[in-house]
Amino acid sequence: MHVMVYGEFAQAPAVSLCKTLVKLLPENHEVVYLTNSGTEAIEGAIKLAKRVTQRSGLIAANRSYHGSTHGALSLLGYEQQKKGYRPLLPGVQFLNFNSEKDLSLIDENTAAVLLETIQGGAGFILPVDNYLKKVKRRCEEMGALLLLDEIQPGFGRTGKIFGFEHFGVAPDIVVMGKALGGGLPIGAFSASKKLMEKLEDRPKLGHITTFGGNPVIATAALTTINEILSTKLIKQIDQKEKIFRENLKHPLIKKISGKGLMLAPIFEQKEIPDFLVHRCIKKGLLLFWLLWEKNAIRISPPLNITKEEILKGCEIIKETLDEI
């Protein structure tokens, strides 16, 4: 069993999954490394960037979230969440998402810049004014790599397979997870063959994962992707977002951040999300909090949610807000 799960033998489900992913990824992403979770994929991507560039400097964004393992936690942009676990990785700096001024932090010591394509825990913040393109350009000038975390927006949630497709940028490394498995645990990171082959030797087995590419999980992931691609789900996302925005209007809602079915109504007081989440669940509606933005709720339903379900959910939210 050891050699069957440890990667010594290539198995058809994992091979088929990776071939399918390669067709969906940017043109030069010829290699996919399957992992057990998005967090593990982040760890592998960090290692790959350091190996390729022979540098140790890493840059992430304030109010970011990429996971809770040691490397991912080091790149988490919320001090309250990690102060009990220091010392963490050295040489990590943080910029403000969408701040062009902060791009000067990227220099000759930078191995990689790791960003969420759409900041999740911060309130579903979209990049603006070609921000991701500007980050990529600065990385290229400095010889650094751009890593985009697609764990939340990936696989149709924003109306495209990957969120970065909306913003005209192709990262050097893409990190995937969550929706890829259709509810089962999986992660992956991808890059060009030229980059990924750096993990092959000196030392050999530069990144190891016992259950990454597990045939059961790989089959589930391939089935999930085929379902997304063979149906009209992605084409319906923009319209479903429009229905949410048109019907989720209330004096207590300041604005709705996000894109597609990755939406965050923002309120004036943090007490409102607490009330909403607890009250709505009693009415049969599941909402949730965001990690760092305490004045918001998370709306991230299944992609196959119906128009009727959206309208019913909006009505529950509005009638609950009327109780305040």
The amino acid sitting at 233 is L
> Residue 229 above 60 pLDDT?
yes
Co-location of 254 and 292 in the same domain = yes
Co-location of 216 and 241 in the same domain = no
Is the alpha carbon torsion for 188, 192, 198, 204 positive or negative? positive
Co-location of 224 and 263 in the same domain = no
Strand-pairing partners, residue 317, are none
pLDDT of residue 58: 98
Contact 124, 263 (CB under 8 A): yes
pLDDT of residue 289: 97
- Structural domain range at position 88: 2-230
pLDDT of residue 202: 87
Co-location of 249 and 128 in the same domain = no
Co-location of 51 and 119 in the same domain = yes
Mean pLDDT on 173-183: 96
Q: How far apart are CA 20 and CA 237, in angstroms?
A: 22
> Residue 3 above 70 pLDDT?
no
Give 108-160 as a DSSP string: TTEEEEEEESSBTTTTSBPP-TTHHHHHHHHHHHHT-EEEEE-TTTTTTTTSS
Given 213, 230, 247, the domain boundary residue is: 230
Co-location of 59 and 12 in the same domain = yes
pLDDT of residue 208: 86
Co-location of 164 and 179 in the same domain = yes
Is the alpha carbon torsion for 35, 36, 38, 40 positive or negative? negative
- Alpha carbons within 13 angstroms on the beta-carbon side of residue 177 total 22
CA 207 to chain centre: 21
For the record, the structure tokens of 50 come out as 């350091």
Question: Tens digits of per-residue pLDDT, 92-104?
Answer: 999 999 999 999 9
Given 209, 230, 251, the domain boundary residue is: 230
CATH code, domain carrying 293? 3.90.1150.10
CATH code, domain carrying 185? 3.40.640.10
Q: How far apart are CA 33 and CA 47, in angstroms?
A: 13
Mean of the per-residue pLDDT values of the chain: 96
pTM for this structure? 0.96
Mean pLDDT on 63-74: 97
> Residue 6 above 90 pLDDT?
no
For the record, the structure tokens of 169 come out as 């940028």
pLDDT of residue 288: 97
Tokens 């645990």 belong to 185
For the record, the structure tokens of 97 come out as 């998402």
Co-location of 12 and 143 in the same domain = yes
Tokens 């379902």 belong to 227
Question: Tens digits of per-residue pLDDT, 246-256?
Answer: 999 999 999 99
Co-location of 246 and 221 in the same domain = no
* Least confident among 9-18, 20-29, 40-49, 222-231: 9-18
Give 188-206 as a DSSP string: EEEE-HHHHGGGSTTTTSS
What region does 12 belong to: left with phi over 0, alpha with psi -120 to 50, or beta?
Answer: alpha
Q: How far apart are CA 163 and CA 21, in angstroms?
A: 15
Given 230, 261, 284, the domain boundary residue is: 230
For the record, the structure tokens of 25 come out as 């990824």
Domain count for the chain, please give it: 2
Q: With CA atoms as reference, report the closest residue to 118 among 156, 146, 158.
A: 158
Question: Tens digits of per-residue pLDDT, 74-121?
Answer: 999 999 999 999 999 999 999 999 999 999 999 999 999 999 999 999
Question: Tens digits of per-residue pLDDT, 258-316?
Answer: 999 999 999 999 999 999 999 999 999 999 999 999 999 999 999 999 999 999 999 99
pLDDT of residue 201: 87
Co-location of 205 and 242 in the same domain = no
> Residue 5 above 70 pLDDT?
no
The amino acid sitting at 68 is S
Report the run of H or E that residue 289 belongs to, with start and end.
strand 288-289
Co-location of 67 and 193 in the same domain = yes
Q: How far apart are CA 118 and CA 131, in angstroms?
A: 11
Indicate the Cα dihedral angle 168, 78, 53, 127, nearest 10°.
10
Beta-strand pair 253-259/262-267 = antiparallel
Q: How far apart are CA 195 and CA 50, in angstroms?
A: 11
Co-location of 293 and 193 in the same domain = no
